[in-house]
Amino acid sequence: MTESARLAPQRRAVILDIVRRDGAVRVADLVEQLGVSDMTIRRDLDVLARAGSLSKVHGGAISASVTTGDEPPFETKAALESRAKSAVAEAASALVKPGSVVAISGGTTSYAVAARLRDVAGLTVVTNSLPVAQLLRPTGAEPGPEGPTLLLTGGTPTKSASLVGPLADQAIRSLQVDLLIIGAHGVSERAGATTPNLAEAQTNRALIDCATQVAVVADHTKWGVVGLSRFIALSEIDYFVSDDGLDPEACAVLRDSVGQLLLGTTHP
């Protein structure tokens, strides 16, 4: 018996402990921590995924409990697919024009877009995301002339630090924005963009209704994932922004269904 085979049960126990504790794990981190090859780790993840103990995503794995009916915390999701999210954010931020009014939903990909908008002149940002609000809030007594004006909705925070519910919906319905940047838990041809949180889906629909144009931002690992509640069909999306890791079949579906497909590049 090889050393790697002999230690397989112990390795897999360590992997499960990390996923249960943190909600997610990266292959690269496991290679370094466990001192085995990338291929060995991927085989371990395959075994654990077949057993239903976790769910594989590109570059790592997440807890099986958060794939469709539950939602991981903002901090957990922020650690996943950082390069892909950066590529998506770079492409999506090019849609934002100086002097416009932009709504930004909750989620780590939307947050990555917001991080690129701090220097857009004359921008007004409406958001139901507590992390986005913290990111964009003025640091001095008054907003700088080039910084965004920030409007934060009320509401009840979710695990992903999004404000949702009747208070958020009522505030959003009184507004009109030029562009909505909105993330998704999952996207599929049949279901469109979905979330596991029913209240968040309702608030997302309020954001969509107040927007002239809608840009859904989702890295390639979101394709084929279906959450509990749909908030927008593919045909209603003006821009779908993903990264160059998106499957060619998914690209074909999206090009036929959405207004425009934009792919950020993950390569320098």
Per-residue pLDDT reduced to its tens digit, 133-164: 999 987 654 554 557 999 999 999 988 889 99
**CB neighbours (10 Å) of residue 213?**
13
Tell how many helices (H) and how many strands (E) occur in the chain.
Answer: 11, 15
Residue 3: what pLDDT? Answer: 43
Mean pLDDT of 38-51: 88
What's the whole-model pTM score? 0.72
- Crossing angle (nearest 10°) for helices 38-50 and 8-22: 70
d(CA 254, CA 260): 8
Model confidence at 4, pLDDT cuts 50, 70, 90, reads very low
Side-chain-facing half-sphere of 229: CA atoms under 13 Å = 14
**Domains with residue ranges and CATH for the chain:** 8-67 (1.10.10.10), 74-264 (3.40.50.1360)
Helix (H) or strand (E) segment spanning residue 205: helix 198-209
Per-residue pLDDT reduced to its tens digit, 5-30: 457 888 998 998 888 776 678 888 89
Instruction: Look at residue 91 and tell me whether its pLDDT is greater than 60.
Output: yes
Give the amino acid at 157. P
Instruction: Look at residue 75 and tell me whether its pLDDT is greater than 60.
Output: no
Side-chain-facing half-sphere of 24: CA atoms under 13 Å = 20
**How many whole angstroms from its chain centre is CA 151?**
21
Mean pLDDT of 69-80: 56
State the Cα torsion 185-189-191-194 to the nearest 10°.
Answer: 10
Residue 68: what pLDDT? Answer: 47
Tell me the average pLDDT of the chain. 86
CA dist list (Å): 6 to 10, 32, 144, 197 = 8, 19, 61, 42
d(CA 169, CA 206): 6
Mean pLDDT of 248-266: 96
d(CA 6, CA 188): 40
Per-residue pLDDT reduced to its tens digit, 224-247: 887 878 999 999 999 999 999 999
